[in-house]
Chain A
């Protein structure tokens, strides 16, 4: 019992160390990878552009729900004018970065892990090493960078679409005054709120991409190993996103 417990702790510590070392090696390869922009562009397309539909659709509905719930709550206090402020701050600071990161983990993170894991399982990474081509530079680093670059852009698109969703419900359906909706929002949102959202999504992008690439790179070279690694990517990315979100929120307040 105690031995199993020890093993679990040791395994967790080993995994943490492995991720940290991997991050350092990856960061060392980022500048050289930027020297091959075509590879990075390809990964921005894969992780970013192809996640666009799911991000915009989710953003629209999250914004609409925010409009409905916010209206229902605020009208009890007779202050539906604050709906714009509530929706904007909620989307910018929390919902935009967090939901984008969760969707990214499910949509792009799994694809990264299984792709790299299959490369490992079919010995493509080993073949690269034999040819003196560093797989970290040509496979891992571009995918990592692609995710880090795509995440803030996706989160910004999510927030904007969400705002229009909230406006659609609040103004068109519930009859909040349009001028009040926007002027109250503009009166209370400040530039540092926007920057907070961007910093959050940059951190989430780094964490989610790192976990996805690391899990794929170190997956057991079997079908089962790739499946396990993909599952771990989703679980670890989601938990990490929410944990980091708390830490960042506390730091920004």
Chain B
């Protein structure tokens, strides 16, 4: 009887552990799952962007390359058609000027997005609930390439025109 009890308790623990693992895999890993993250300390600042690219919740917020916080939330402002990003700064970094500049940057060539903060010059500091006004959107590679080609083709066009005039003027001078 006693041995039976031990076996049943052992099996119960094993099944419990197994289902806890399955629960973790199904809820914590997929983006659609639930989150039971612990509330983090720090102060929250919001910033509006025209385009955040593929910035994700949990991405780092850095100053001069050093991590000072993370992205706590992303939502869409349906009045201004902008993305509102909730930035959480670690409590250790309290003295960030209020007119600082936030831009979305890319880690490596194909890496994820993060937010870089360049300090402003004001004496007043960012605090809970303040807003960063100066922002720069994510650079979307496709639009950059499009712009490059548009530039390139117009430049090539004008080049050939000027060459044409050059040869013309040369021809004229020969005459």
Instruction: Decide if B31 touches A186 in the complex (CB within 8 Å).
Output: yes
In the bound complex, do residue B29 and residue A185 qualify as a contact, i.e. CB atoms below 8 Å apart?
yes
Residue of B nearest to A183 (CB): B58
User: Is A23 in contact with chain B by the CB < 8 A criterion?
Assistant: no
Asked whether, in the complex, the Cβ of B18 is within 8 Å of the Cβ of A153, the reply is yes
How close is A33's CB to chain B, nearest CB, in angstroms? 16
Chain B residue total in the interface (Cβ 8 A): 37
Decide if A183 touches B11 in the complex (CB within 8 Å).
Answer: no
Q: List the interface of chain B (C-beta within 8 A of A).
A: 4, 7-8, 10-11, 13-15, 17-19, 21-22, 24-26, 28-33, 54, 56-60, 67, 70, 107-112, 114
| Interface of A, helix, strand, loop or mixed by DSSP | helix
Q: How many A-B residue pairs have CB under 8 A?
A: 122
B26 with A184: CB separation less than 8 A: no
A190 an interface residue at 8 Å Cβ cutoff? yes
Contact between chains at B17 and A157 (CB < 8 Å) = yes
B28 contacts across to A, CB distance below 8 A: 186
Chain B residue with Cβ nearest A84: B29
**Contacting pair B109 A79 (CB below 8 A):** yes
B13 & A49 in contact (Cβ 8 Å cutoff): yes
A38 to B28, CA, bound (A): 33
A4 near B: Cβ within 8 Å?
no
Given contacts A78-B108, A150-B14, A156-B21, list 4 more A-B pairs with CB under 8 A.
A156-B18, A179-B60, A180-B114, A183-B112
| One of A157, A182, A183 near B18 (C-beta < 8 A) | A157
Number of interface residues of A (CB under 8 A): 41
User: Chain A, 181-203, contact with B by CB distance < 8 Å: what is the 0/1 string?
Assistant: 01111110111011001100000
Complex CA–CA separation, A41 to B13 (angstroms) = 12
Query: Interface on A for B, CB 8 Å cutoff?
Result: 38, 41-42, 44-45, 48-50, 52, 77-82, 88, 92, 150, 152-154, 156-157, 159-160, 177, 179-180, 182-187, 189-191, 193-194, 197-198
Query: How many angstroms between the C-alpha atoms of A180 and B29 in the bound complex?
Result: 13
Other-chain residue from B21, B26, B57 in contact with A157 (beta carbon distance below 8 A): B21
Cβ distance B117 to chain A, nearest Cβ, rounded Å: 16
Are B25 and A182 interface neighbours, CB within 8 A? no
Chain B residues with Cβ under 8 A from A44's Cβ? 11, 14-15
Cross-chain contact B59 with A183 (CB below 8 angstroms): yes
Residue of A nearest to B7 (CB): A45
Closest beta carbon of chain B to A94's beta carbon, Å = 14
Q: Which residues from chain A contact B19 at a C-beta distance below 8 Å?
A: 153
Query: A52-B17, A159-B25 given as contacts; is B30 within 8 A of A184 (CB)?
Result: no
